[in-house]
Chain A
Amino acid sequence: MATNTKYELKIGPATREGFGRALVALGRENDQVVVCDADLSKSTFTHLFAKEFPERFISCGIAEANMVAIGSGLAASGKIAFVASFSAFVLNKGFEQLRVTAAYPNVPLKVVGTHSGISIGEDGPSQMSIEDLALATSLPGFVVVSPADDVAIFELVKTLAYHPAPCFIRAGRSKAAIIYTEGEKFPIGGSKTLLDGNDLTIIAHGLMVAESIRAAEALEAEGISARVIDMYSIKPHDVEAVHKAVSETGAIVVAEEHLVDGGLGVKIAQTVASATPCVMEFVGVQDRYAESGTPESILDKYGLLARDVISASKKVLARKK
């Protein structure tokens, strides 16, 4: 049965803002922290760090591939180096550099992609990042996280700064519902069971965590008990929590603001298939690019609302029988 935990899901800051504040906190505690930016500091919130530590802020111009490799050089020389841009640009333009200058030599570069997913709205597909997790998780040795709210990203940025491997942190543009309270810890490879349940498990990350909570609450009103897990650590992911979900609920829905192909769902399915398989459904962007529109209208048209998690849950339960 679902626990009594109630989430108000009040609207909080966008995760990119928490990223910016975490950089400032890191800058204050450690003078080795440096930040590279590619003409998007106002959008990525690295401008907060630039303002306080201008001598440790490195302007790279609109040249993401170069910025990634510059960051690798800084990181290889002992700096705690962050490179940030829109997720679409830092990962797609910088991918080869991420591969050969960070992943392959295991250089602990910290890569932050803001404006991920399709919820950026009006700018449209060229700025939307729906392949970033497929790309980042394909890089051997990379740690990849997708925080759901302000507390989660603040903690994860501070934790990963000191992690001795390359990392990718996925952040969003739009305001994110508040899920956690200050002080919550987010270990690499961990997950958070936000609602317990025994009919099925909904596994989500980023913006879809709040939608999944909403979905679970609606399902509960219909007598369906859904477990909700925030799988903020995409790589490595919490294998134990997945196995438990399989044995205790026997059905899984994965919900994410990413292409269904190559997202977290595929990795969860791999984990599920390697133990005792169970029925699964996937909520995400289907093999296509989106378009311009308000964030709300896009999430609606491309199927990323609580409503879509609910219908996937019913579908998976029907198959479970």
Chain B
Amino acid sequence: MTSVETPSFTELEAIAKRVRRDIIEMITAAKSGHPGGSLSAVELLVGLYFDQMKHDPKNPKWTDRDRFILGKGHAAPVLYSVMAEAGYVPKDQLNTLRRMGSIYQGHPDVRFIPALEASTGSLGEGLSVGLGMALAAKMNGSPSRTFVMLGDGEIQEGQIWESAMFGSFHKVDNIVAIVDYNKIQLDGWVKDIMDLEPLGDKWRAFGWHTITIDGHNLSEVRNAYVEAAATKGKPSVIIAHTIKGKGVSFMENNPKFHGSAPSADEFTKAMAELA
């Protein structure tokens, strides 16, 4: 098990910076991919893998490990980079993203990286799979907890709300859903496509302990995970307000960078900003 000591925020910030650089490099090399929703999720994932989750990169199939599922599978670059930082997968091959034969497939694929918990890419399914895993842990008397990251567009899927009902009805208190609330989906702004508000009220009405934070503030991220862990008898959801494209000025709040790679010039500019 890693994270014997609590890492400092300075350490976590340094990792987050490297992850952002990886994301830009990988997607530029691939000439396609999803930078916006990868950059918005960086602190949330760094907080999990380097601070909160009990896991062991040397023993990825350890039965009692905590599990993570990237429901919004198109944000694969952030997960690959974080898993590489943690030592699950080779860092020097990150730039093979989306190439034939690469373990870094366009969407997380357990056939290529067995340390992944689920193959995702079709939105709306990760929370259900995570609930199944969390329930299995309870049945086995395992302390394992499961974390599922959801996109705000993703939670328009009806299945999310079926799983939300399931989670509270079955008192699955070892699951944490994380909504990366970056306000933008593929075609534009969430409020123009299918508004989610009042989002916190919805989750509360579905019986979830609801924690609202700034998803780029590492201290708030840590406190949210700690609060979720301490919440018994019901599942927890963290509604993390984030900025799509966070860290690269021209990508921030720009729907164009949901699913397009930076040009050579944009790459240079982005890397300078992330220096």
Residues of chain A having any CB pair with chain B under 8 Å: 37, 39-43, 47, 59-63, 65-66, 88-89, 92-93, 122-127, 291-294, 297-298, 301
Contacts and interface: CB of A to CB of B under 8 A. Distances in A.
A60 B156 CA distance: 9
A126 B107 contact: yes
Nearest to B104: A292
Interface stretch (B3-11, B95-103, B139-147, B235-243): B95-103
B194 A59 contact: yes
Contact of A66 (B98, B154, B158, B185): B158
B109 interface: yes
A43 B193 CA distance: 15
B121 A126 contact: yes
A302 to B, nearest CB: 11
A60 B54 CA distance: 39
B109 A124 contact: yes
Contacts of B187: 37, 39-42, 47, 59
B106 A123 contact: yes
Consensus secondary structure, chain B interface: loop
A283 B97 CA distance: 29
Interface residues of B, number: 31
A247 B113 CA distance: 51
B193 A301 contact: no
B100 A293 contact: yes
Nearest to A46: B187
Given A42-B186, A62-B154, A66-B158, A292 B123 contact: no
A293 B32 CA distance: 11
Contacts of B124: 62, 93
Given A59-B194, A93-B122, A40 B99 contact: no
Nearest to B76: A124
13 contacts: A37-B187, A47-B187, A59-B187, A59-B192, A62-B124, A62-B154, A62-B157, A63-B156, A63-B158, A122-B106, A124-B106, A126-B121, A292-B98
Contacts of B158: 63, 65-66
Interface string B73-109: 1000000000000000000000000111110011101
Contact of A92 (B105, B106, B122): B122
Interface string B198-218: 000000000000000000000
Contacts of A291: 100-101, 105, 109, 112
B153 interface: yes
Nearest to B153: A62
Contacts of B112: 291
Given A293-B100, A294-B100, A123 B186 contact: no
Contacts of A125: 107, 109, 119, 121
Contact of B153 (A61, A124, A126, A301): A61
A47 B186 CA distance: 12
